[in-house]
Structure 1
Amino acid sequence: MSCCNQRLRRTAPIRSGGSRNELVPSKPARMNGWSWPPQAAQVIGWFVFIYMAIVSFGMYIPLLPPPWNHVAYALVGIAFVLHFVTHLAAEIIDPADASVRAKQTYSNPMPLFDRTKQPHVIQDLHCYLCDVKVGPKVKHCGVCNKCIEDFDHHCKWLNNCVGVRNYGYFFVALCSATFGTLMLIMIILFIFIQHYLHPDDLRTAPQFNNLLTNDTWLVFLPSAPVKTTSAGLLIVAFFTVLLSLVSLLLLGHLLGLHLYLLYKGISTYDYIKMQRQKEARNKDLEVEKANDTKHHNKATNSQTHSIDCEPKLASNTSACDKLSFSSRISESICTELENFKTPVERDSSLHYSADDTSKDYGVLSESSSRVWGVGSEFGADVSECLRSDSVPQVQNPLGSSVMIPEDIRHQT
């Protein structure tokens, strides 16, 4: 039924397969909390208020002994009347910005927001939906579909936005509801205790004199007394206390939050935005910590493997160095001595005989001793290398000793 009453505008983008724009129902702006349709929280709030008013003034406050009943009438009455007036004012007042209230008739449908044309509803202090210039603290409410001056939050219990124009009424309604609910809980608890300890203190009204038994109780005193039982009175009291405790918990939490916001000088919208940013930062930090932990574990595992392999590699290297040290010394000295030979000596070494071997050995030993200072202190490997310099040699691959071919060994 609600869709039939709304006007249709061609506001949707053109589809690739169609030749015309799709008809989309536009959403008109809401004037205040009484604009149709009401929200469920708003209806529940009014029913709770009416129920507590009836129970307080019709059942339990009249049972209090004087003068406490007069005090309770005054305090609870002021709280309930103040809450009724301020709650009603917070719902009726239009919290929209002055430029919106001057232009908006609340009868024409509003265009829908298209993110393909504008990244934000309000950009450069201009609202593209309301088509007005707004202030820096103005926000466009998606529920009410209008710009709210000094936007605080959209209240479901009021079915209206809370801005600078109705925030004072909202705060007074919150305080009065909290005080009235607390007073009602105290009154019912006093009656519940006195019902078992001193029931006569609760039966001081003149109408109780005509009752013959103490099990019968009267409610809606003094104008319209109605008889009820003791069990019925206590059952209603128990249910009322539970409902009042739940209401007090919600109201106390909301009042504490707004007292904190007033102390900080921020709005509910700013508080929620900061909380979301804080949660996003915490999530990013958790992701970074998880990544750092993974990298640290990988680095620890790789370091452990490298530490395990290093001793083995070091031991193998040292063993190889020990085995080939003497052979490298012998080979290096032989190579240097070979470089000091004259070309004639290099050629004559290719044509050797058994008689030239001793001569070459003597000359080579004497010359090598004069040039390099090589003596017997360098060991048998070096001496063997010097003695067999002019003889073709074969290096033993398993050690540092020099091997002479078998046929030459027989000749020598």
Structure 2
Amino acid sequence: MRTNGWQAPFDLLQVVAWVTFPVLFGGFFAFYVPFLPATPAIALGVIYGMNGVLIMVLAGFCTYINPADRNILTEAELSPAQITDDLLYCNVCTKYVDKRSRHCRLCEKCVATFDHHCKWLNNCVGAHNYRYFFVLICSTLVFTLFQLAVGVFLFATSFADPASITSNGAVTYGCKDGTPAPGTNACSNDRYMFPLVAVKILLGLYSAFLVPSTVSILQLVIFHIKLCRNGSTTYDYIVEQRRAKIARARGDSTLADDEGDLCVCPAPRRRTASEGATQQPPRPTVSSAAPASFRSSAVAIDGPFAGSFDRGFGKHVQLYDHSSEETHHSPTSPSQREEFGQQFHAYASPAANPLAASTKRESFFV
């Protein structure tokens, strides 16, 4: 079981973030600030620097926090009296967890109020760290938007007033002959240590990278604002999209809204009044032969969002076909009991399932 995102193995996107952020952060002070007038350079440098430090702190904190369900974090077993209707049993963790917790197969644990598995942080985002994650993506949006705006301004100025760019840069980088012209910051014969053409190329490259990055992060922020407004999660959104897709495929407009039909197989039961307060619900067992992908699942954000959210997550969903696993096995975790809108039937074999030819069970990676 992974404790947090600082635990190896590290995700590739996490390493990309470790490399990209210093390049952006250092590039601002190396290739932006020196070409600004003195007073704006100081003010913008301080604002940008504080925002950058905030991002590093938030990212480190979100990565460090263990988002597991509180019952996973404790070794104590719950007494029968503590098992309420707000709990479900996860056969993978062999623990009772909150009904909004979901099992992440990447972290191998149930995550409290699971939102998604963020590959940039190499950690799940849930109840324990979602607020920090939200502030993090908002701060990152300000970070990229701020740098993009300053970069576009300097890039335009390098064409409209190139003398101001070169003279400001000469204060930091100097001239090739060692001294600027008397009474000015301009280098004689334009012999600058940092020539104007190099400034244009670097600012153009940074801006070309920041434009799609800023748009993607903006979409991500807007998406999570909508989730917060609706009291929902990324996981819930994907489940609803999946249910709607299945409903359209089957021509059943009620499937997406019918919670009762989503799991008709044997599953962990809740206590009823007739069973008595001391009776504990049975704990289903899982066959060791059951595929690992069937025993757990995950929703993992692995890249910036692109495209309209009205079209759903089509461009960001990797579908893993598990149609061969359409068996009589019982779901083993709260996330699998939802099965993204699929119905379970106790067929003796996959071939006996009349839906096997047209319906596939899929795991989502966002």
**Percent identical:** 31
Q: 1:252 to 1:215 in 2, by over 3 A?
A: farther
Contact map agreement 1:215 1:230 (CA 8 A) in 2: no
**1:125 is matched by which residue type in structure 2?**
L
Alignment of 1:241-252 (within 5 A): 241-252=207-218
Map 1:174-193 → 2, pairs under 5 A? 174-193=137-156
SS of 1:86's partner is helix
- Do structure 1's residue 267 and structure 2's residue 233 form an aligned pair? yes
2:249 to 278, 283, 302: 283
Q: Is the 8 A contact 2:90 2:97 kept in 1?
A: yes
What's the offset of the Cα at 1:136?
Answer: 1.4
The question of whether the paired residues in 2 share the 8 Å contact of 1:216 and 1:230 is answered with no
Residue 99 of structure 2 corresponds to residue 127 of structure 1: no
**1:124 shift after superposition:** 6.4
For the pair 1:67 / 2:39, whether they are aligned, the reply is: yes
Pick from 153, 168, 177 the counterpart of residue 131 of structure 2. 168
TM-score between the two structures when normalised by the length of structure 2: 0.59
**Contact between 1:93 and 1:165, CA under 8 Å: does it hold in 2?**
yes
The question of whether the paired residues in 2 share the 8 Å contact of 1:127 and 1:133 is answered with: yes
Secondary structure in 2 matching 1:161: strand
Q: Determine whether 1:235 maps to 2:201.
A: yes
Separation in 2 of the partners of 1:74 and 1:232? 25
In structure 2, the CA distance between the partners of 1:124 and 1:164, relative to structure 1 (3 Å rule), is closer
Give the direction of change, closer, same or farther, for the CA distance of 1:142–1:215 in structure 2 (3 Å limit).
farther
Aligned to 2:21: 49
Q: Please state whether the residue corresponding to 1:67 is helix, strand or coil.
A: helix
Partner of 1:139: 102
C-alpha distance in 1 between matches for 2:87 and 2:61: 33
Which residue of structure 1 aligns with residue 9 of structure 2?
37
C-alpha RMSD of the superposition: 2.2
Q: Tell me, yes or no, if the aligned pair for 1:99 and 1:133 is still in contact at 8 Å.
A: yes
Match of 2:60 in 1: 88
TM-score (norm: length of structure 1):
0.53
CA distance in 1, matches of 2:207, 2:190: 22
Partner of 2:48: 76
* Corresponding residue pairs, total: 232
Compare relative contact order (CA 8 Å, sep 6+) and give the higher one, 1 or 2: 2
Cα deviation, 1:312-370, whole Å, max 9, x if unaligned, reads xxxxxxxxxxxxxxxxxxxxxxxxxxxxxxxxxxxxxxxxxxxxxxxxxxxxxxxxxxx
- Displacement of 1:135 in angstroms is 1.1
| Displacement after TM superposition at 1:214 (Å) | 6.3
Q: Within 1, Cα distance between the matches of 2:131 and 2:252? A: 41
Relative to its length, the structure with more helix (as a share) is 1
Gaps of 5+ in 2: 77-85, 181-186, 254-366
Match of 1:200 among 152, 160, 163: 163
Secondary structure of the corresponding residue to residue 37 of structure 2: coil
Q: Distance in 1 between matches of 2:208 and 2:105?
A: 35
Write the distance in 2 (CA, Å) between the matches of 1:250 and 1:76: 20
1:332-371 matches, cutoff 5 A: none
- Deviations, residues 89-111 of structure 1 (Å, cap 9, x unaligned): 1001110112212239xxxxxxx
CA distance in 2, matches of 1:216, 1:90: 48
Q: Distance in 2 between matches of 1:215 and 1:60?
A: 20
| Corresponding letter in the other structure for 2:90 | C
Equivalent residues in 2 for 1:220-231, closer than 5 Å: 227-231=193-197
CA distance in 2, matches of 1:283, 1:126: 31
**CA distance in 1: counterparts of 2:251 and 2:46, whole angstroms:** 55
Give, in angstroms, the shift of residue 33 of structure 1. Answer: 0.7
Letter of the aligned partner of 1:285 in structure 2? G
Could you list the runs of 5+ residues in structure 1 that have no partner in the other structure?
Answer: 1-28, 105-122, 218-226, 288-412
Which structure is larger by alpha-carbon Rg, 1 or 2?
1
SS of residue in 2 equivalent to 1:140 = strand
